Chains A and B, each alone.
Chain A
């Protein structure tokens, strides 16, 4: 089974900050990686697929990069609506989520 490890678990930031979240896979997953955003009491929403492709309708301040085992999600300028929990997911072999990164207000 492929394991996914995100860091950090919690991140405190201010509006306007550049934020980076890292996700590592236990083995190569090529670019079969997605990022989701989840707000309390709501279902997750897709942000990025295939490691760096922006889902339609998602603001361009979100970007993804990486391949193989190391991936990053970057928010170029954090907005009030971005305070949420973010999950990476591999979909090369079945599906596995990272443990999540909560982005909090500093």
Chain B
């Protein structure tokens, strides 16, 4: 059974940093691309970042480019999102999602984690 479990969320001040983790199990982690998707309170879904199965190709939404870094450790079956220079508008539930393919684009999300809440506030 595929399981994705996010952690690392919490309260952080504007300008601060936070690293989210997503522990994967139940499938061959390195064979599939992964993404982060966020949802601000009461709002819709926003794709944030993606990474290929091998970790060499990364993708970012314009809203986070230069501030967030996606990475993965295939030996630990874990996906990361390093978030820096956080702003109030980054407040959201952050979901990790498994892509059906290994490369990234042209691949939809077939499994999602339960999400972790990030609150950016002074």
Contacts and interface: CB of A to CB of B under 8 A. Distances in A.
Given A34-B108, A46-B108, A89-B108, A95 B47 contact: yes
Nearest to A85: B44
B93 to A, nearest CB: 9
How many chain B residues sit at the interface, stated as a range, is 20 to 34
B95 A43 contact: yes
Interface stretch (B11-19, B20-28, B67-75, B112-120): B112-120
A87 B46 CA distance: 11
Interface residues of A, number: 24
Interface in A2-54: 32, 34, 36, 38, 42-46, 49
A96 B108 contact: no
A97 interface: yes
Interface of A: 1, 32, 34, 36, 38, 42-46, 49, 55, 87, 89, 91-100
Interface of B: 35, 37, 44-47, 50, 59, 61-62, 95, 100, 105-110, 112-115
Contact of A46 (B46, B62, B109): B109
Contact of A92 (B37, B62, B105): B105
B105 A99 contact: no
Nearest to A44: B112
